[in-house]
Structure 1
Amino acid sequence: MTHDGRMAPGAVLSWCLAAWLVTTGSAVAAGISAGAVVVAAVLWHRRRAVPLLLAAVCVAAVAASCGWRLATIEQSPLVDLAQSGRLVTLEVQVNRDARVFTQRGRESTVVGVVVRRVAANGLDLRLRDSATAFVDGRATDLVVGQRLVVQGRLAPSDRSDESVTIDVVRRGTSSGVAWWWAASEHVREGVRQAVAPLSDEPRGLVPALVDGDEGGVTDGIEEDFRRSGLTHLMAVSGTNLTIVLAVTMAVARAAGARRRGLVVVGALSIAAFVLLARPEPSVVRAAAMGAVGVAALGFGSRGGLRALCWAVVVLLFVDPWLSRSPGFVLSVSATAGILVLAPVFARRLETWMPRWCALAIGVPVAAQLVCTPTIAALSGEVSLVAVFANLVAAPAVAPATVAGLVGGLLSLVWVPAGHACGLVAGACASWILTVGHTAAGLDAASFEWHAPWQVLIVLVPVVTWLAVRLSSRPVLFVGVVLGFAVGVWRPPETGWPPPGWVMVSCDVGQGDATVLPVAPGEAVVIDVGEDDAPVDRCLDGLGVHTLRLLVLTHGDADHVDGWRGAVHGRRVDQVVVGTSGGPDVPGVPTHTAAAGEAFAVGETSADVLWPPADEPPAGDRNGVSVVLRATVRGVHLMLTGDVGEEAQQRILRSGVDVTADVLKVPHHGSADQEPRFIDAVGARIATISAGEDNDYGHPTAALLALLRARGTQWWRTDLDGDIAVVLREGRLHVVSRG
């Protein structure tokens, strides 16, 4: 299949030019536009120069748009008013949804607006300038399309696409929004109402799938979806619009509509989607990519690339700043890959598998390959599980989106019917969440890209060529895919100890032993297990020959009886015990720790949070375990001994800071836990030290459910062996050795 690529040079040149011009001035843009007009005039009668003529016309249009918009901002009266810092009165219209953020413990709201009128110093001007407004407190009642009067102080904006920022001092009266904006807000609220009975994570994800409302999406979901390559599902993208288009056009086709009627239905669906999801840059992008699909329906797949190029030029003409938007780059790249590369994969795969399966594989592979250089440039890493995660999650995306949208519409009429659809959407969203969390939890889910991202521009075409060649050879293709899957699921050993380790939870059976690095060959050891050999083996593997500090959290055998193995052949500087005491290590001074103390040794520092100095054991040594909040190279670790629910509650009431990146789960994962303590720690990673097939049932199902509900990933010594938490390029990873 051939593609009409005559528009491609013009689209690429316009894109590159716009990305540069928005950082310059209006005079430069005007000069380039005039030059492009001259070139177009020269080429006008040359038939063989059609691609160059189209490129010149596109460049002239985009440069003219840049020059006009930059001149409007440069000459705006708001820029002069911002220099005075005086209080002004403005009539504004909200054009982006309000977002709440917290700074220094105080809530504020940021919202995009268009300034339509300003009154100050005897001036009363009507204009149409973009600005960003900052409002004290939670102002989520500000919705797109709403007009209101505010008083505030102006300040110059550091963005070239807006005139000023507004620090709102007082909000005045507001007028109602247009009926179409009011209707879209009612539907968005209906979607939230439909999923209200669901648990936290599905309740937050469904509105994001339907209309891009990410207010309920947690940081944990965002991080896991980023690692697994599913981030595009949470933001409004071509995927969301494609699903809506597919449903509406299928209904129209069933009603007897033909090609021209389908184009009209598609165009109306796009307009309604933009109203529902808001006309923000990402939504406009999605609408343009949806228009490309509708155009391909009208002009044939050969015209899809031409439609994409025209969409790029039109979008850059409307908003030249999209040229520097990461989302724009990813949207266009993915769409181009699907139009050009996916059919190639599908045709070759169809020779030995059903067409639906070939398309299901070809589309995500094509999109991921084309987007890889951009993703590496933006995030500094490349996901190895993105294609697999998208393949597995894809069947649930459309049902979740459609059920959520239908539930939102039904909730406006009859709430129970909306809830029924919301349950269906929630079940599908739960599957997507499971895929995202599981894929992100794999050790080889992604890898850091340290070379210049431009290298991938050369490397990706080579990989693409190899993938295309393999796709028509079933034995080789399946073998490579299976080998790759095994490598991601169980990556090769990286050596032990892994570089950058900040904590190791040793496999000592039904007991505890944790090691924190101090310097090469030196460590702080917290607990030693019950037997000598396991802790000795673990310390040997880490190359530890000096214990700068040996902390024995409490006197139970599974925490202290292995002390001889820990000190064997090693120098020990000091022993620290809790109020329940511990063994005497010959020739080593012992100190009894109490809450409020702190220590720092090399790379490791720690605050003692528990127990209080006057806390007697009272027969419960677990309850007076030494609890440390340690820090190693900026990573916070909560080391909890065997404290149970009561002690955890008292620690919370004391008001100390318990937040941490990593949690050593208390008491081997017993059910004696305080959920509020787990919440307050907020760790993304948890380690559980328990013996294989132990008689206590550790870790308990209740504890694992508690961690799962909070999005905490856990590793267990009974299943994973020694567990190392590793800091690489500012991100935490876990490497285990069974």
Structure 2
Amino acid sequence: MPDLRAIALGAGAWVGALLVLVLPGWAALGGTCAVVVLVLAGVLRRWWTAAWLAPLAALVAVAGVAALHQVLLTTSPLTALAQQGAVVTVRLEVTSDVRVVAGQYGDLQVLRADVTRLEGRARTWRLDVPVVVMAPAEWPRQPLGTTLATTARLVPGDDDVAALVRPTGVPRVISGPDAWWDAAAAVRRAVREAVSGRDEDARELVPALVVGDDGGLDPGLADDFRTTGLTHLLAVSGTNLTLVVGSLLVLGRWVGVRGPWLYALGAIGIAGFVLTARAEPSVVRAAAMGAVALVGMGRNGRSRGVRGLGVAVLGLLLFRPQLAVTAGFALSALATAGILLLAPVWRDALMRWTPRWVAEAVSVPLAAQVACTPVVAALSGQVSLVAVAANLLAAPAVAPATVLGLAGGLGGLLWVPLGVVVAAPAAWSAGWIIAVARWGASVPTAAVDWGTGPLPLAALTVLCLLSVLLAPRLLGRPSSALACTGLLVVVMLARPPTPGWPPEGWVLAMCDVGQGDGLVLRAGPGSAVVVDAGPDPVVMDACLDRLEVTSVPLVVLTHFHADHVGGLAGVVDGREAGTIEATGLLEPAGGARAVEAVSGRVPTPAAYGLTRRVGEVTLQTVWPRPGAGAGDAGESAPNNASVVLLAEVAGVRVLLTGDVEPSAQAALARDLGGLRVDVLKVPHHGSRHQDLDWLTSLGARLALVSVGEDNDYGHPAPDLVAALAAAGAEVWRTDLAGDVVVVVSDGEVGVAAGG
């Protein structure tokens, strides 16, 4: 029986961080004091033993550190100036790689940094506080470890950083990265060069496996990894460190390293891994969990591993309390706990009728999956049914892909051809992992929608706890284990029907894709025209599955903002896909590149004025008109370049407006004078910037607003909703109704919602 006191130590530290980070100030203080009083009273009255004092001490220590971090951030002059939107000069050190993200008005470079000097409002401060830098795409890209100075506007940040820094000038580099950062960057480049001649997906997956560098991975493939529970392979995790440092220790023993020198070699390996993978908090967390896994593999490993886990959780939260509210920390800690506490028991049960290697291969991914399932469901709203099988099939290829990928990069530093030869098996192994991910995602019921509300998650947690209690009995008997496996296979292979969905006579569906657009026009049995794909491939794919759409002869992307094109992979993967059309303005460039990466080609520009029939859908492109400008100052050019479609399905006239803003709407009002429609897709998610006279003149009986729940933009604007309702339109919103489907029954137009 493992010593659970160490687990209690880590749990106490976690609770201490959560009390401060989740509860408001006085409530956090009151909650912490209440726990302290309760435990001390229990010890004094001998309700429980003095062993509870250690978790209590961990709770108080981490709560104190978390509170101190918050005080330092909230009282920083940087935070105060950010509240005022001040323009300042900052000296900062870059602490992360640059990520390019699609913003509302173009691509942005996002990176983390520490501000060490601040000049503003005629004062100068020396400090050391974290910030997030959000720079335009043309701002010179800075490598990790660079120290620079720049003028910037400060914007209030979240609880984890003092401010958001929006540079307004050209940065002045004060010093470049230190030698170890340059060396780490050289290794990462060498890993990429070693597999640069391989298949596109393999050459992107190998760097992701080695150092978590997944920036170039195909979005559709990343979606398949999520569906099959293999996402942990794309980020720096404890598995990476266990494989890399474990291989280094095996090599060290092979050449005769023993005793303290072996421990020193392991420490060097851990330090090298952290530097190579970038010493960010997530990497430090992964390194700590990987070190725990290494301890667990040694003599008396289970007991030592459990103690190491508790100490690692305490140490990480003392180092950075904010980790307590991150998904990566929760998943790492829970997976490690599952492997240490549950896997040995389940392995022993399976060994009653299977060989040891089979029992270990099944019990480890099964234990990790059960431990992490509630958190994964809270993040994705889904429970993967293929995760255990996918991890089991992928496991033999993970070690060679990771270790030989890194070895290829190190060899390439000496001689490029050597690196290519060494990394070749890594690329082959990555190809196998890719095949497993795609196979798993193609299973009819690879995952089931579960929901993220309190009740579904509480029910799922109870089911996981019951499985922990029942698993030894079920796994210990071949009849029950094989019966459960057979039942799971049947459920995966037979797609469960959604009762009453899609509704009879449906002509148009507005998918609930969150803050974005995803419209589906019924072109025939199993066939549809898709207009925009939302931000998330998983969500868009699930909506099309619910509508039983297997063929998409035409996809129209109104413009290239991520909330309209990010889910394209979910539309085309696994379906017969035809032409992909889009606006002619290829901005933002990141969105256009993402679409080209998914589709394998540049989308065809939608031809203005063209009227055509696609199955049962008649479509006319009514905007953008050739020569139309970008619109009024302050409006978004990509929004105003949105493709606007006038569609007719089963006698229902529909106007699909993309995100066009008031000046483009006014131009459409002039071009389409007297237009009347049955259904209006409200522009730009119900933004307050609208030409209300035109929208209310259309006479729409239904006004559809595709909008995300609790979005930060204030969409839809109350005045807009009121004006549409006053004009006689029935307003339907995805944030309130879920999927919204327009149906025709006996010549009458109605709505079904919920999906």
Q: What is the TM-score of this pair, normalised by structure 1?
A: 0.67
Rounded to whole Å, the distance in 2 between the matches of 1:75 and 1:730 is 45
- Please tell me whether residue 488 in structure 1 is matched to residue 492 in structure 2: yes
Identify the residue that residue 338 of structure 1 maps to in structure 2.
339
Identify the residue that residue 376 of structure 1 maps to in structure 2.
377
What's the CA shift string for 1:156-182, capped at 9, x where partnerless?
A: 11x112111111112112312122111
CA shift, 1:26, in A, is 6.0
- Please tell me whether residue 457 in structure 1 is matched to residue 495 in structure 2: no
The one-letter code matched in structure 2 to 1:390 is N
Asked whether the 8 Å contact 1:25–1:67 carries over to 2, the reply is no
Asked whether the 8 Å contact 2:19–2:63 carries over to 1, the reply is no
What's the CA shift string for 1:452-509, capped at 9, x where partnerless?
A: 21111211122333332122222432343234224323446668986699899xxxxx
Identify the residue that residue 284 of structure 1 maps to in structure 2.
284
Change (3 A) 1:629 1:180: farther
Structure 1 residue corresponding to 2:619, chosen from 574, 591, 606 = 606
Rounded to whole Å, the distance in 2 between the matches of 1:64 and 1:153 is 32
Identify the residue that residue 429 of structure 1 maps to in structure 2.
430
Identify the residue that residue 531 of structure 1 maps to in structure 2.
none
Q: How does 1:559-708 map to 2 (within 5 A)?
A: 596-597=609-610, 606-607=619-620
More off after superposition, 89-98 vs 458-467 = 458-467
Identify the residue that residue 478 of structure 1 maps to in structure 2.
482
Identify the residue that residue 160 of structure 1 maps to in structure 2.
159
Identify the residue that residue 19 of structure 1 maps to in structure 2.
18
Asked whether the 8 Å contact 2:237–2:290 carries over to 1, the reply is no
Rounded to whole Å, the distance in 2 between the matches of 1:265 and 1:331 is 24
Q: How does 1:392-403 map to 2 (within 5 A)?
A: 392-403=393-404
For structure 1, the residue ranges without an aligned partner over 5 or more in a row are 505-514, 526-541, 544-550, 552-593, 610-627, 637-727, 733-738
Identify the residue that residue 169 of structure 1 maps to in structure 2.
168
Rounded to whole Å, the distance in 2 between the matches of 1:305 and 1:502 is 56
The one-letter code matched in structure 1 to 2:17 is A
Identify the residue that residue 309 of structure 2 maps to in structure 1.
308
Match of 1:112, SS state, is strand
Identify the residue that residue 718 of structure 1 maps to in structure 2.
none
Q: How does 1:506-521 map to 2 (within 5 A)?
A: 517=522
What's the CA shift string for 1:295-331, capped at 9, x where partnerless?
A: 4437642132222122112211111111111111111
Q: How does 1:709-728 map to 2 (within 5 A)?
A: none
Asked whether the 8 Å contact 1:26–1:66 carries over to 2, the reply is no
The one-letter code matched in structure 1 to 2:469 is W
The one-letter code matched in structure 2 to 1:370 is A
The one-letter code matched in structure 2 to 1:606 is L
Matched residue count: 545
Rounded to whole Å, the distance in 2 between the matches of 1:475 and 1:109 is 56
- Please tell me whether residue 125 in structure 1 is matched to residue 125 in structure 2: yes
Change (3 A) 1:481 1:147: same
Rounded to whole Å, the distance in 1 between the matches of 2:331 and 2:69 is 25
Rounded to whole Å, the distance in 2 between the matches of 1:230 and 1:454 is 24
Q: How does 1:344-355 map to 2 (within 5 A)?
A: 344-355=345-356
Identify the residue that residue 415 of structure 1 maps to in structure 2.
416
Rounded to whole Å, the distance in 2 between the matches of 1:44 and 1:257 is 48
Rounded to whole Å, the distance in 2 between the matches of 1:265 and 1:454 is 45
**Percentage of identical aligned residues:** 39
What's the CA shift string for 1:184-216, capped at 9, x where partnerless?
A: 111111111111112221111111100011111
Rounded to whole Å, the distance in 1 between the matches of 2:323 and 2:431 is 33
The one-letter code matched in structure 1 to 2:232 is H
What's the CA shift string for 1:351-401, capped at 9, x where partnerless?
A: 222222211111001111111111111111100000111111111111111
The one-letter code matched in structure 1 to 2:474 is L
Match of 2:354, SS state, is coil
Rounded to whole Å, the distance in 2 between the matches of 1:731 and 1:208 is 38
Q: Which has the larger radius of gyration?
A: 1
Identify the residue that residue 269 of structure 2 maps to in structure 1.
269
The one-letter code matched in structure 2 to 1:93 is E
CA shift, 1:260, in A, is 4.5
Rounded to whole Å, the distance in 2 between the matches of 1:415 and 1:393 is 28
The one-letter code matched in structure 2 to 1:380 is G
Change (3 A) 1:599 1:477: same
Match of 1:351, SS state, is coil
Identify the residue that residue 442 of structure 1 maps to in structure 2.
443
CA shift, 1:518, in A, is 9.0
Change (3 A) 1:629 1:175: farther
The one-letter code matched in structure 1 to 2:619 is A
Identify the residue that residue 614 of structure 1 maps to in structure 2.
none
Identify the residue that residue 327 of structure 1 maps to in structure 2.
328
Change (3 A) 1:35 1:116: farther
Q: What is the TM-score of this pair, normalised by structure 2?
A: 0.65
The one-letter code matched in structure 1 to 2:2 is H
Match of 2:168, SS state, is strand
Rounded to whole Å, the distance in 2 between the matches of 1:266 and 1:416 is 29
Identify the residue that residue 576 of structure 1 maps to in structure 2.
none
CA shift, 1:339, in A, is 0.2
Rounded to whole Å, the distance in 2 between the matches of 1:256 and 1:44 is 51
Asked whether the 8 Å contact 1:29–1:67 carries over to 2, the reply is no
- Please tell me whether residue 5 in structure 1 is matched to residue 9 in structure 2: no
Rounded to whole Å, the distance in 1 between the matches of 2:416 and 2:485 is 46
The one-letter code matched in structure 2 to 1:5 is L
Rounded to whole Å, the distance in 2 between the matches of 1:494 and 1:37 is 50
Rounded to whole Å, the distance in 2 between the matches of 1:523 and 1:301 is 54
What's the CA shift string for 1:96-155, capped at 9, x where partnerless?
A: 111112335633201100001112233221100000111112557422221111111112
Match of 1:131, SS state, is strand
Rounded to whole Å, the distance in 1 between the matches of 2:610 and 2:91 is 57
Change (3 A) 1:5 1:408: same
Identify the residue that residue 561 of structure 2 maps to in structure 1.
none
Asked whether the 8 Å contact 2:16–2:32 carries over to 1, the reply is no
Match of 1:309, SS state, is helix
Asked whether the 8 Å contact 2:346–2:363 carries over to 1, the reply is yes
Match of 2:5, SS state, is coil
Rounded to whole Å, the distance in 1 between the matches of 2:608 and 2:148 is 54
Rounded to whole Å, the distance in 2 between the matches of 1:499 and 1:435 is 35
